Structure 1
Amino acid sequence: MNILICTYSITRTAGGVFDAVKDLFTNKTFHKHNLKIISFSDKHIDEDISSWKNIPIQLFKAGPLLYSRQMKRYMIATNADILHMEALWRYPHILMGIWSKYHTAPIICSPHGMLDPYIISTQGKIKRIISHLFFQKGLESVNCYHALCQKELEDIRAYGLKQPIAIIPNGINLPKTTKKYVKPDSNYHLLYLGRLHPKKGIDILLQAIATLKKENPNIFNNWIIDIVGWDHENCQTKLEHIVHSNNLKEIVTFHGGLFGEDKIKMYANADAYILPSHGEGLPMTILEAWSWKLPVVMTPQCNIPEGFEANAAIRIEDNVSSIKQGLQTLFNMSDEERISMGNRGYKLVSENFTWDASAQKMIMLYKWLTNQGEKPDFVYE
């Protein structure tokens, strides 16, 4: 099968979407199929392109909103059995409508949480009007949407899209390293890793920490909060202001964006992971945290209810009071209790979130869309 994949970035610039798309299509299940990826050049290409192994990649220079006349011409001239679009709301999104004009091959689109109501609500009225004018044709041209979880299926339907939807979760590559990392100190470390973006709820996490410190100054005597991630639209400045104005500099450390060995070291040295997000698709970082046997503190908006059911996570809501209570619960747990929770998370991902299973389901979906197989039971119409 000839599969054309369009993704906005093949580097760390795309955050969790980079890992999700890369790990799916480099899975051995796809080795007997002909893949071609089209994307855009950016400053991290030289560092990250080798991680795509031997998949052919065609890169284009991006203009504003990733506009590229060359990509448009390339897609018109390229034949494939299926087009898989990764993510929404940039110029390649528009190209789905153009593809359907010149080709009969079906389109599958993976929004990666970009139809989440929180994301839509923050667009503003003018942006929503522009989205409808320029992006609606692309949305209507999709033959099947790929949701990462039941909640994302509901979000796609809530946006008014009627096409079939396949639920295929992200997977995880379990850590292979046997290297022992020496912790930098004797403290416990609570890790946040991801973009510094308003939807991630880092601001309310810091406010909860400040409130908890005022109420119980000794509770952070042996806990450090590590915030790892690259800045999005000057979000870090606002977060640092909260830290400085509440005298949290000895508790909270900003590490910037870390990748490769540096990222692995943060997981290896962590004692717990937190994601107080307002909205997600299916966050890779939580799966990664469980793969490192870390207990997790997360909101229901992270869309992995299995974590609560397996008692692998502490549930918090996306507000200061609830996060404060969640932190208290975590800090009051014994080492044995935290380790047991992390082990339950590891069992959950190792049994239910593997890339082998996700890749096999994606091939089943492709075959159904190209009339080469039966409709899978994970497709909902």
Structure 2
Amino acid sequence: MTTMASTQPSAASPPQAAPKPSGADRVRNDQWHLRYLKVTAAHQIAKGEGVTVAVPDTGVGLHPDLRENLLVGIDIIPGGIGDGRQDRDSHGTGMAGLIAAHGQSNNLGALGIAPKAKILPIFDTPPQGNGDPDALAQSIEYAVSRSVDIISISSVGSRSARLDQAIGAALASDIVVVAAAGNRPEDASVGYPASKDGVVAVGGVDQLGRHAAISTAGPEIDVVAPAVDIYSTSIDGKYRKGTGTSDSTAIVAGAAALIRSKYPDLPASEVVHRLTATAVDKGPPGRDDQYGYGVIDLVAALTADVPPLGFGSATASPPADPAPTATDVAGPSTDEGDAATIRGLVTLGVLVAAGGGWALVARNRRRSDDPPPRISR
């Protein structure tokens, strides 16, 4: 950055270099997905109070923007400090931040979709390494034992009998399980566990609301959310920028946390139904393989009159409560305009702030075939 001194500095007051903006100064404005999803309006209704989201990942660091919402978790594999609250990779911290970062005063720092939800951190994937399906199974078993409300899985990988059983147990325990669909070109179809029946399979859209090129497609896709150039928390108190269905999955997990907070007695199946029934339809009319039921609509999911599963049409009526504005209930902005109908990993680019600068780390966050990171400055 170039700084300019005064043309006539006094001897007593030597010219001072302008302070460099910190990541916390910049990241909130860079979080375009908050504006796209009308998070401010949604937070007038719910912020995730009383909800716990398990994040089985690379651990979650004690970031200033997230610290108040981070519970004591567990390390499933060796290498952590025992409680899940260490991350040497940044992926897990980024996902947790998208779900429940509370930011700092004066609207600084990162903000999550559900900033009053709690995060249960689980370290089950080594930094820059491959994930073991049985380690993920053990993570889910632990989350079930802790009676969490939501499990957010931002990865794809291989299948095992234990993992199948663990996910089944979570679903039977009234837990919303959200998982990344996968990223092209590594994933030609929706990966596991997103492909498992009962799991919310999440794809991605870009800043124009169009299907993200990186997001895989398939008949299992349920909903989509922002997945391109998504800013969140990182390790060492810094911030990162990610692209992939890892990010859109964490965002949808945050949306589920808002619904569970607003409707604490609603079964998990009805929470998912609210997400799909109020999604903004994209692509061909009705559910399709790129968008699923559509782009999540936070305000509509919290306020619309949604018939219970099995009763009448899946179409949700606009909310009767006049508090949200007409713009708010229209859902996310779309490339098709306001006429969009309301109804109803994994490659990751990381941008880490370091001493006022930004280092781009392009890496593939997967539970298998994970290449070493490539760093450019």
Same topology, TM > 0.5: no
Q: TM-score, normalised by structure 2?
A: 0.35
Structure (1/2) with the larger helix percentage: 1
